Amino acid sequence: MEKYNFINLSKEKWSNPRRARKQLLFEALLTQPAVQEVLYVDPPDHFGWTHIKPLRDLRGMRICERGYFLRGERFASIRAINRWTVYLAMRKALKTAAQWHTVFYNPWDLCLAKFLSPYGPILYDWTEDWAVYHESTALVFQQRAAIDMASGIIAATENLADRARELSKDTKHILFLPNATAWEPIESQECPQDMMHISSPRIGYIGHLGPWFDKDLVLALSRARPEWQWVMVGYADGTLNEFFQDSKNIHLLGRRPFTKLQSYMAQCEVLVAPYRENIEGDSSKLYDYLTLGSPIISTTMTTAKRLQPHVRMASGVESWLHALEQALGENDPAAREARHQVSLQHTWDLRAATLLEWLDGLGNA
């Protein structure tokens, strides 16, 4: 049987220490016997030539550092020229295999995906509603075009899978493939030095504190219970630091290496995902939280609903206060072990195997 080769047109640089779906899924794919090679195409971060190099510490992985020649990406003609130059730089690297499966995320990479279509199937990994997230009418049409052009759709949420079926009028092959965790279950880890001064009880959050993060909710909760310590590990811009500057029980620790994040969250009695209401997307941190066994509370969202009863859901300040009080008072070894066991059902290795099984089915259809 021919082995699979993948091109991943990513929106995350391979070197980004945050480690997101785009890196973790393809890292897991390379552990599968059916996969030979991955060409991981970074998002553009410089003007000039595109360079391709092997990754020394991961067999079968090559990194394509994408460069652009023209400014003005808001114009379709400029986007097409820039992606054509990237394609020209990639052609030699693609000679190592007869067929490649191209996976793309960013709808603006549609034209590059089209250039790559002679090499094999094109798969659109729909992880979020780009048009809503970026408040762009143009992306409404670009997302639709991506669905129309793709051989198959990979959807990170049930809602996106349903929308893909509706938009394609059930003419496309669609795989629901949620996020997962790269962590293994643990009982405890040594406390990081920069957390030792923070008293208990600690409420932990990991991840980018972006526009989806409900800062007003967290501020209200911190004021309602000043003895609770909020530990936030992840990027926060200057405005958020200023917003929380008078809250002595909110600790913005900033970015930490991906390999250290689990040790930070292991020191917290409760782990939280305080997102804004009605957010669309699949929260990868909830899968990570399960590996720690600690009580978890999330804003009501599809990921939390899917992980019931292992994740509590809350909406509004009073609901959150009640859920936090319950979680902080939890003393249930069986519930902790259940969360550990559920985490084993949501690993990137299992997601990679699911994707390959789906692709096998497409090949036999």
Distance of CA 24 to the CA centre of its chain: 9
Mean pLDDT of 39-57: 87
Residue 143 near residue 107 (C-beta atoms within 8 A): yes
Crossing angle of the two packed helices 137-149 and 158-168, in degrees rounded to 10 = 70
pLDDT tens digit sequence for 173-211: 999 999 999 999 988 789 999 999 999 999 999 998 988
Domains of the chain: residue spans and CATH: 4-180+347-364 (3.40.50.2000), 193-343 (3.40.50.2000)
Average pLDDT, the chain: 93
Q: According to the model, what pLDDT value does residue 19 have?
A: 87
Q: 193: which DSSP letter?
A: G
**Exposure on the CB side of residue 75, measured as CA atoms within 13 A:** 7
Query: Helices 348-364 and 21-29 meet at what angle, rounded to 10?
Result: 70
Assess contact for 185 and 213: CB atoms under 8 A: no
Q: Region 3-25: what's the mean pLDDT?
A: 92
Question: Minimal CA–CA distance to 62: which of 87, 84, 36?
Answer: 36
The label of the residue with tokens 């992880």 reads 127
- pLDDT higher than 70, residue 275: yes
Q: If we measure between CA atoms, which residue out of 103, 111, 105, 166 comes closest to residue 133?
A: 105
Q: What is the mean predicted confidence (pLDDT) over 88-98? A: 93
- Res. 364 pLDDT band, cuts 50 70 90: low
Q: What single-letter amino acid sits at 44?
A: P
Sign of CA dihedral 53, 59, 60, 65: negative
pLDDT confidence tier of residue 260, bands split at 50, 70 and 90: very high
**Per-residue pLDDT tens for 320-338?**
999 999 999 999 999 999 9
